[in-house]
Structure 1
């Protein structure tokens, strides 16, 4: 089975909505279509690799786990509407792997009102870490951690003329804070600091400004197709700068969208890529058993988040409730394969792992 067929099979199952055989219902609202679709498909393929393996062995105390996925098209209003349907009508036990900072922020009151936990949101925004959000259980590290690490790396190799280009929303502002922290720590000032609209990204003025400033590196903070558009337009304007983006774009789909322009782009990572980690080794072997030859970082994030969800469900006992699941997550420590995820009442951050990778000439991520 090739990856395209596997994705189609996985999404077809997730979007079917039928749950006659499943008694542990988990909800997800995410951009199955829209600007983040490529990464979403891969992250959920990774999650379903693990969930399917658990279900094949009998599920949780004999009950199978089903993720009911609703497409919000990466639209914040649809995210909220979908979350209400999942919680009120579908009676899901928890929400899982939402995507987008403003999207996830918009459903926080709904989580609190209904006592519904959210496990593994695909966002590293600091707002979900500090102060602690009682119903949000992060798995991946923060965007600020990633951005700061990337800037520090650039500074250590002598790059000082850095442009910061970010989407004009809460995600962009949050990640920018991490980049600025890295700049300050290394006594640097951005040669260009520009923002673009999330719905209608336009780089027509940003691109020539980057070229004029003779930027050596450009960090583009945004999602999916918008970042691809930005990188291509800035390069077309004549910039020979090093490009950097964050882990929300760490997917094969993103690389394919970049095409020949992807070579040499740095993408931060929030999970390891080495087989020295059992997490990576096990996920890769399971993927290959399904005919998937390459385990992308996005797949690994989905796989890791699914491991946390399943273990929390196990610790909730037979016939889990929202209350039992919250209780198990609020006193949680679990080695997912060389990395320990832990939560308590005062910390829902999960992991703090951050690293860098570069896109190679053959379209692969290399550390």
Structure 2
């Protein structure tokens, strides 16, 4: 079924790892999306129809992601949003094509989704490579020269590390070492001891949160005070909590404006709605979910009287969207979204500071 539901609802699906290694980020992004959808529904929805976010747990597994996406497609969801992880997201591509189902704002920065443009994928965040470049540029900007890359040995790590290397090239530097670890068995203790002995000034650590936590704890236990930068996949409250006393000073790349900056119209709106809902603050992942929901809503508003998957795709292609100071423009050959990147540093209070 392709179109609006008979019961008058606009259903948007979210297939992501609500359990597994990225669960905290997935939950936070879903909370941010629901915050905006709820506010739109409270004002009458879209053309009198409420938006419903239907979530399914893919357990961060590609095969499960495919099965859950097919199930939602058969139920007539208008679009998917906020998938997470290269494997699960790339596994969805045939399902999207078969069902002419748009995927909006996946929380993935894999370069294969950017070049060439995937016809049913509308990206919002910058690529992994771009944010890794930003991390290196920050480190070089504070005078660091002896930089090593420690990456998970999988498509995510391989992709992002290319950006780190490009960033080093741009700054006329080279990696002192490029070390890889297994996602399932990081075993980073010996690696960090060697890095401490080598006098490395900074690490770019690319990997899942649990592995990066293990690595940072081992680095500090080895006596190293090297700067550590990691990517936005670790911009969650749970990541900081897991680091304990070693969280302070960790650099984390960010792909949206500072979640406490009222100078940003997007953040100002999100914080206002959060406070109305009884929340005092937002996390970076919640802000990403909020921005993604704004994009979905703007596309729904432009999709015509009888919203369908086809009309939603037409509304996205060739359109310009203002998400609150963030401008997004898609064409039929470019679905890459934003180029915004920044860095934050975990402060003594366990919050992300910029």
* Same structural fold, with TM-score higher than 0.5 when normalized by the shorter chain: yes
Kindly provide the CA deviation profile for residues 232-290 of structure 1, in whole angstroms up to 9, marking residues without a partner as x: 22222332211111112212222122222110000111111131111011101111111
Change (3 A) 1:22 1:234: farther
Give 1:204 deviation, angstroms: 3.4
Equivalent-residue separation in structure 1 for 2:264 and 2:331 (angstroms): 25
Return the match for 2:181 from 176, 189, 196.
196
1:235 equivalent to 2:220? Answer yes
2:338 corresponds to? 351
CA distance in 2, matches of 1:92, 1:213: 54
Aligned to 2:318: 331
- Residue 24 of structure 1 corresponds to which residue in structure 2? 10
Contact 1:35/1:226, CA 8 A, preserved across alignment: no
Aligned to 1:315: 302
Which residue of the partner structure matches residue 156 of structure 1? 141
What is the DSSP-based 3-state SS (H/G/I as helix, E as strand, rest coil) of the residue aligned with 1:205?
Answer: helix
Deviation at 1:98, TM superposition (A): 0.1
Q: What is the root-mean-square deviation of aligned Cα atoms in Å?
A: 1.6
Give the aligned partner of residue 3 of structure 1.
Answer: none
2:265 corresponds to which residue?
278
Q: Find out whether 1:47 has 2:33 as its counterpart.
A: yes
Contact 1:334 1:342 in 2 (8 A): yes
Shift of 1:114: 1.5
> Hey, what does 2:53 align to over in structure 1?
67
**Could you say if the C-alpha distance between residues 247 and 63 of structure 1 is closer, same or farther in structure 2, counting changes exceeding 3 Å?**
same
Return the match for 1:35 from 11, 18, 21: 21
Question: How big is the shift at 1:143?
Answer: 1.4
Specify the SS of the correspondent of 1:121: coil
Distance in 2, Cα, partners of 1:239 & 1:136:
42
SS in 1 for 2:64: helix
- Quote the Cα distance in structure 2 between the aligned partners of 1:264 and 1:192: 22
Extract unaligned runs of 5+ from structure 1: 1-18
Instruction: State the shift of 1:192 in Å.
Output: 2.4
Is residue 201 of structure 2 the alignment partner of residue 226 of structure 1? no
1:292 corresponding residue in structure 2: 279
1:6-155 matches, cutoff 5 A? 23-88=9-74, 90-155=75-140
CA distance in 2, matches of 1:79, 1:244: 30
- Name the CA distance, whole Å, in 2 between partners of 1:336 and 1:118: 18
Report the Cα distance in structure 2 between the residues aligned to 1:331 and 1:199, rounded to whole angstroms: 42
Size of the alignment, in residue pairs?
348
Q: Does 1:249 find its partner at 2:234?
A: yes
Aligned counterparts, 1:158-197, within 5 A: 158-197=143-182
Describe the shift of the 1:190–1:196 C-alpha distance in structure 2 as closer, same or farther (beyond 3 A). same
* Superposition TM-score, scaled by structure 1 size: 0.91
Distance in 1 between residues matched to 2:129 and 2:23, nearest whole Å: 23
Distance 1:44 1:302 in 2: 6
Q: CA deviation digits over 1:79-112, x for unaligned, max 9?
A: 2222222223x22111110001122111112211
